[in-house]
Amino acid sequence: MIATNNLPATQQSTVSVAIKKMLGRLPAYPATQAFVTAFNLTVWKKLKDLDWDGLYGKSFSVVIKDLPMAMYFSVTEKGLRALKTTQPDVVFTATFMDLIRLALRLEDPDALFFNRRLLIEGNTDIGLRVKNMLDGVEFETLLESFPGMFGKAVMFARKKLQHRRAQ
């Protein structure tokens, strides 16, 4: 048996310290509202027809552990709804950059889990279902929901990060 790849448990974030500091200073609820609003105006259009039955009313928390910040929201028929605080059904914890890389489909969640860079607490079945449902939507489809320039910027960022991984 060969032990390899001693990746650190937490990946060094490549986002500039300044941006992280700025995000870290934002109060959690307005930041969640901003995220939820952006989400509902863009990708929700492509996601609303998925099989959300059984997930409406469930609450989620995304903990960005290196900022640190915790966002709370629930799923409704009209999209996500920001919550001030709650006992969430499921909590995802990862660094800012790992969450970005997951969203850009550059990272495998199971591999992050093995390397202790992603934690899913609470109702695992709901967590897995959301993860698998989102994996089932093609990235290009999600991208179509962004306004032209922003979509191009996302693709540009993705290519940059993909290139960095390959090096």
Q: Contact positions toward other proteins, by CB under 8 A?
A: 1-7, 9, 51, 93, 105-111, 113-116, 119-122, 124-133, 135-139
Smallest distance from the beta carbon of 126 to other proteins, in angstroms?
Answer: 8
Of 33 and 61, nearer to other proteins (C-beta) is: 61
Q: Which residue has the tokens 């609450």?
A: 59
Smallest distance from the beta carbon of 116 to other proteins, in angstroms?
Answer: 6
Alpha-carbon distance of 114 to 152, in angstroms, equals 32
- For strands 90-94 and 79-83, give the pairing: unpaired
Instruction: Give ∠ CA 9-153-141 in degrees, rounded to 5.
Output: 85
Of 34 and 110, nearer to other proteins (C-beta) is: 110
Residues 93, 94, 95, 96: what is their CA dihedral angle, to the nearest 10 degrees?
-80
Of 21 and 164, nearer to other proteins (C-beta) is: 164
Tokens of 132: 């698998």
Question: Beta-carbon neighbour count of residue 7 at 10 Å?
Answer: 13
Smallest distance from the beta carbon of 55 to other proteins, in angstroms?
Answer: 10
Alpha-carbon distance of 53 to 75, in angstroms, equals 10
Of 59 and 109, nearer to other proteins (C-beta) is: 109
- For strands 69-76 and 79-83, give the pairing: antiparallel
Smallest distance from the beta carbon of 94 to other proteins, in angstroms?
Answer: 13
Of 53 and 149, nearer to other proteins (C-beta) is: 53
Smallest distance from the beta carbon of 101 to other proteins, in angstroms?
Answer: 9
